Amino acid sequence: MTLALRASITPAFHGYAVAAVLLSATVLAGCATPEKPPRIAYDAYVPPLPAMPAAATYEKPKPLHVPPGWIPARGGAAANSPTAQVESANAAARVQPRREGYYNAIQIYPWSEGALYQVYA
């Protein structure tokens, strides 16, 4: 009979015991806070910033080498047949590398709508 009585009381007592332990631990943790640290003025002395010197006039640097301007295509020679007209238009639109177009060992091509670029790789 004691075994049956003990088995019926244990689960209810277990829940109350856990609640009591958690409540007492919370109360003790709240009372065990350390003392507050003393107030310290971290920014009590900040030296003033030095005076700014007068701004010098800005001189824009000059580029060492500027690629030359490109002339847009004016059109090809007049042709009679449609095939010759297409060949003439392609020849007029072709942009070939020029000696003056090199800038720092790179050939500079201008962008223009409808141009055909000839690149040597």
pLDDT of 12 reads 64
> Is 41 buried (19+), middle (13-18) or exposed (0-12) by CB count in 10 A?
exposed
Q: Is the pLDDT of residue 107 over 70?
A: yes
Q: How many CA atoms lie within 13 A of 48 on its CB side?
A: 3
pLDDT, tens digit, 9 for 90 and up, residues 68-92: 666 665 666 777 888 988 888 888 7
pLDDT of 34 reads 74
pLDDT of 109 reads 73
